[in-house]
Structure 1
Amino acid sequence: MTKSQADVVRTALEILDEHGAEAVSMRAIAHRLDVRMNTVLWHVKTKARLEELMADAIVAGVSLSGLPRDGRERAAEIARRYRRALLAHRDGAAVVAGTYAAEPATLDTAEALVAALLDGGMAEREAAWTCWSLIYFVLGLAQEEQASPDGSRVPEVGERASLRRVLPFLTEEFDGRFEFGVAKLLA
């Protein structure tokens, strides 16, 4: 059976979900597909290219249908859907953060987010920079969330008085922190 680039990416995502980002390799994909490694390389050329395609496939999980009409509400909902798409795959945020994928799904999501910000009344520069800020915020928080899926990490802050005062809030659940951050960025 002939394999395609889509087969290679789908298989890479299966390995990612089962074993994590460290387990994804050309060799593992070839083994899973029961093909020679040259077949995998034919479709993706390099590990960096594979990671770009994987990142775009993860971002393709962001549904852009049924969004609110209000620009800022739409931007917040896109951010929520982006986070869910990242969290839908083991190490999904790390894979996406490790690439600069100018691929269709990634560009479509960015287009929708920038359009929402512009429709919400932001000037072009503010919309562009707010888009980047939202993306970086969501990627960072999702990476933290995936690194500590039970949320049980409590940092040792020692005698740092200010950190001791706010420690209960530093470790609060991710959903509340996410909503707070998005609201601040869109304020």
Structure 2
Amino acid sequence: MTKKQAPEASRTRLDTDTVVRAALDLLDDKGAGAVSVRGVAERLGVRMNTVLWHAKTKARLLELMADAIVAGVRLDGLPEPWQERVRELSRRYRRVLLAHRDGALIVTGTYAAEPATLRYSDAVLQALLDGGLDERRAAWTLWNLQYLALGLTQEEQALAAQGGEHSLAGALGEGRYPAVERVAAALEDGDFDERFEFGVARILALP
């Protein structure tokens, strides 16, 4: 068997879902910085070309991982009122990001126009359209909800990776940033769930 034939023989033992699951396992074990085509190949015990058969590039692998993360969002059992439906979908989206180490970082760094991501977006958009928003406002509200979830969750996961502590104390105290000093306690509030609920409520408080 030639080297050119080896990947073809190997890929009969794998499928794309298996490759993506291995990549997610690697992510959970070692974090986003460790995710690579080589790392996934080593985890599966195959050649890099075998992984590349299923995910042509690292960028494509990350897109598939992002979509697999979002696939964890359940779309059943949702409230009927449109605002509550959007809130619940947003909470479920945030939970699946938190379910994977660096999950928000992986999703933020990709543009995955893939089935699970599109299904989730479709469910949120339908709720917003049911609430009477026009197409442009529905689309932009979806963006704002996703940016809130991704940004806040990425901050939360990064903080956890650093040991769970951060402080403004070393940068304040000399009167150079009076407004920041005035609200410093609130800025350092570590209740990410409460901050998320506040943000969603403000976004959905539509004029």
Question: For this structure pair, what is the TM-score category when the shorter chain's length is used for normalisation?
Answer: over 0.9
Q: Check if 1:144 corresponds to 2:159.
A: no
Q: Could you tell me how far apart the structure 1 residues matched to 2:157 and 2:34 are?
A: 16
Is 1:67 paired with 2:85?
Answer: no
Q: Which runs of 4+ in 1 moved over 6 A?
A: none
Partner Cα separation in structure 2 for residue 19 and residue 184 of structure 1:
36
Give TM-score scaled by structure 1 length. 0.97
1:7-86 equivalent positions in 2, closer than 5 A: 7-86=18-97
Give me the whole-angstrom Cα distance separating, in 1, the residues matched to 2:165 and 2:129.
38
- How big is each residue's C-alpha offset from its partner over 1:63-107, in whole Å with a ceiling of 9 and x where there is no partner? 111011011110011110000010000000000000000000000
Matched, 1:170 2:187: yes
Match of 1:103 among 96, 114, 119: 114
2:7 is matched with none
TM-score normalised by structure 2 residue count: 0.87
Shift of 1:157: 4.0
Residue 71 of structure 2 aligns to which amino acid in structure 1?
Answer: A
| Alpha carbons 1:13, 1:54 under 8 Å: kept | yes
> Alignment partner for residue 134 of structure 2, among 123, 127, 140?
123
Larger-gyration structure (1/2): 2
Distance 1:179 1:129 in 2: 19
The superposition leaves residues 83-132 of structure 1 with CA deviations (integer Å, 9 ceiling, x where unpaired) of 00100000000000000000000000000001111112212211110000
Q: Which amino acid aligns with 1:168?
A: A
Distance 1:31 1:113 in 2: 38
Letter of the 2:18 counterpart: D
Partner-residue secondary structure (3-state), 1:111: helix
Q: Distance in 2 between matches of 1:123 and 1:26?
A: 42
Structure 1 position 181 matched with structure 2 position 199: yes
Q: CA RMSD in A?
A: 1.1
Identity %: 60
Which 5+ residue runs of structure 1 have no aligned equivalent? none
Greater length-normalized contact order (CA 8 Å, ≥ 6 residues apart)? 1
Q: Tell me which residue corresponds to 2:14.
A: 3
Instruction: String of CA shifts for 1:128-161, please: whole Å, max 9, x gaps.
Output: 1000010011100000000012642123442311
